[in-house]
Amino acid sequence: MATLRDIRRRIKAVKNTRQITKAMKMVAAAKLRRAQGRMMELRPYADKMYEVIATLGRMGDMELHPLLAKRPRKTIELLVITSDRGLCGAFNTNVMKAATAFRNDMKSRGFEVSISTVGRKAVDFYRRRDIPVRNKWSGISGKIDFLNAKAIAANLTENFINETLDEVYILYSEFKSMIAQKPTVKRLLPLAGDTEPGAEPVPTVDVIFEPSPAVIYERLIPKAIEIEIFRALLESQTSEEAARMSAMENATKNASEMIQRLTLVANKVRQATITKELMDIVGGVEALK
């Protein structure tokens, strides 16, 4: 049985851990407010951009821009977005489970699947399994900028135009609420007028191209790719901070419960020690009689 000194030492260690998890929860809450604000500001713009591109894709000529071109699927790219750091519950695990399921499904259908990653956790996941990663971006978690999205978009669009990739999908954790983040797979390239299965249909409207379809496509379509990637990065960052805040809150509660249990054990050990000492004194007195 552990001594009273050992139990008190453990209580002190758990209290120190509780202070750390409580501080991490407060930091995550502050980061969450900033990230959620940026995400909520971008969502309406990104939704309207997608609606415009989908409408133009149906009304215009697909051959006017290479990012609209559809070709037989051979090589599919999956861009997986995770975090750079841990201590965020099942956030990264859920994303990687969805990535594995998507990759296995596509490979079972005869397609070649390449992987690109954002975040160190995805890189570590694939390195442990000896799965090659075509390209990776890390060190941007918590400090996402639109330039990051532009760099990722430039790499993906270049490989799509060169026909190295036939389709590009993006996998990220979509922020639903403080306690719910959903791994979401969305087709990024080619941009086309058709909607994804299960998505709400884009309303049909009459379109007047000014100055010309070619000029409009050249300006809007690359920007739409960048906006979609930027949105996914912000959604992922918000989900990460929400998951971390929830995980640290649970860890703090568990530490408090452990401290209560250890304190109860310490009191029992202390009482048992006092009782033993009293019995020794009584026994000594009786022996002297």
Domain 29-246: CATH superfamily, name plus number: ATP synthase, F1 complex, gamma subunit (3.40.1380.10)
SS3 214: helix
Per-residue confidence band for 241, with pLDDT thresholds at 50, 70 and 90? very high
Instruction: Classify residue 40 by its DSSP letter.
Output: H
Instruction: Enter the tokens of residue 112.
Output: 């070649």
- CB 197: neighbour CB atoms within 10 A? 5
CA distance 49 to 221: 9
On the question of a cis peptide bond just before residue 222, with omega within 30 degrees of 0, the verdict is no
pLDDT of residue 258: 94
Check whether 166 has a pLDDT greater than 80. yes
DSSP assignment of 236-250 equals: HHHHHHHHHHHHHHH
Instruction: Enter the tokens of residue 209.
Output: 């191209």
Give every CB contact of residue 172 below 8 A, 6+ residues apart in sequence: 81, 95, 183, 184, 186, 232, 233, 235, 236, 239
Instruction: Enter the tokens of residue 93.
Output: 């695990």
Residues marked as catalytic: 88
On the question of a cis peptide bond just before residue 211, with omega within 30 degrees of 0, the verdict is yes
Residue 250 and residue 90 in contact, taking contact as beta carbons nearer than 8 Å? no
SS3 track for 139-172: CCCCCCCHHHHHHHHHHHHHHHHCCCCCEEEEEE
- For the chain, the first-to-last Cα distance in angstroms comes to 34
For helices 91-108 and 120-128, the axis angle rounded to 10 degrees is 50
Who has greater pLDDT, 113 or 276? Answer: 113
Q: What is the mean pLDDT of residues 173-184?
A: 91
Dihedral sign of CA atoms 111, 117, 120, 122 in order: negative
Per-residue confidence band for 195, with pLDDT thresholds at 50, 70 and 90? very low
CA distance 231 to 236: 8
Check whether 201 has a pLDDT greater than 60. no
Which of 136, 113, 106 shows the shortest CA–CA distance to 124? Answer: 136
pTM of the model: 0.85
Q: What is the pLDDT of residues 91-148, one digit of tens each?
A: 999 999 999 999 999 999 999 999 999 999 999 999 999 999 999 999 888 789 999 9
